[in-house]
A = this chain, B = another copy of it.
């Protein structure tokens, strides 16, 4: 169940009570089998709010792991597994992930594999997690610098989404999520595409954000429900990510990590440039590329890579999970509301487009 609204305290408390009334027959109030996973940031910023809803969480049932991508590895998984085991988490126990995309990814992965799967809920606290990572049942960790190479397809039972947390975020975090909002707007077209050309609302404007969150969750859920294990249509959600993930992984390798949203935003721009030649609607694609470039240039910091970096970028692009055999398969946007998946692209064309963006992605 995905809930999106303003009064998370009431909604969350009621969901907890009803689960513990019906599922494990524990008296409401004692709830000994709930485990709270948070990041260092959400431990500081969000936990007291959750603690009030629950009516006191024992210290041993809270674990804070590093913020962001630093949490998405097997070492952190081992820490989470051992924490659950040391505190006698059993098959009917519940893990609640409170945090951003990385936290929901790693927490969901651990829950889906601990005792071969225990129930988990997500409380996404970043825009990126609200519109993307917390919804859709993809859990995962990185393998070295390869993003989300290890994971499962497992849905959170409940997801509680509220604009309440947005004001806790630095502007860079809002931008990181906004890249996925732009991606969803390209998929939807129409009013959504018009909206992302407007300024980003102030984080105190809860009503404006509620409406944005709602259409983002709707498009993502619709695609995920149609193709949960990404055999086809779900690949559309990878728009911008073939090159975006490569930029992200490559920058991590270089020791100067680019934030996910920044990488995806430029990934969208560069992939749309690539789409122009392949598009049956060349003029529409050109116009999309211009509008998109304008949005991204206005909001996102530039990305710098040189001709010498292209071989390394290509290695990451070739490792993309969507590829089959020796074919690079991209999801591409031809126009707002008109996107296609499984488009075979030659490495030469990708190299050429990357060349066009050497020193230009700014």
Which residues of A are in contact with B by a Cβ distance under 8 Å?
24-26, 33, 74, 77-78, 81-82, 85, 88, 90-92, 109, 112-117, 138, 140, 143-144, 146, 148-153, 229-230, 318-319, 321-325
Contacts and interface: CB of A to CB of B under 8 A. Distances in A.
B153 A116 contact: yes
Contacts of A324: 24, 90-92
A118 B324 CA distance: 13
Contacts of A153: 116-117
Given A74-B74, A116-B140, 10 more contacts: A33-B325, A81-B150, A82-B144, A85-B149, A91-B322, A92-B324, A92-B325, A109-B113, A114-B150, A115-B151
A114 B149 contact: yes
Contacts of A151: 113, 115-116
A144 B77 contact: no
A138 to B, nearest CB: 7
A152 B74 contact: no
Given A90-B323, A324-B91, A81 B149 contact: yes
A140 B74 CA distance: 15
B149 A115 contact: yes
| Leading 9 A-B pairs by shortest Cβ distance | A116-B151, A113-B150, A115-B321, A74-B74, A81-B143, A116-B153, A74-B78, A85-B143, A92-B324
A117 to B, nearest CB: 7
B323 A116 contact: no
A152 B150 contact: no
Contacts of A318: 88
26 contacts: A24-B325, A33-B325, A74-B74, A74-B77, A81-B149, A82-B144, A85-B143, A85-B146, A85-B149, A88-B318, A90-B323, A90-B324, A90-B325, A91-B321, A91-B322, A109-B113, A113-B150, A113-B152, A114-B150, A115-B150, A115-B151, A115-B321, A116-B148, A116-B230, A117-B152, A117-B153
A151 B326 CA distance: 31
A237 B283 CA distance: 63
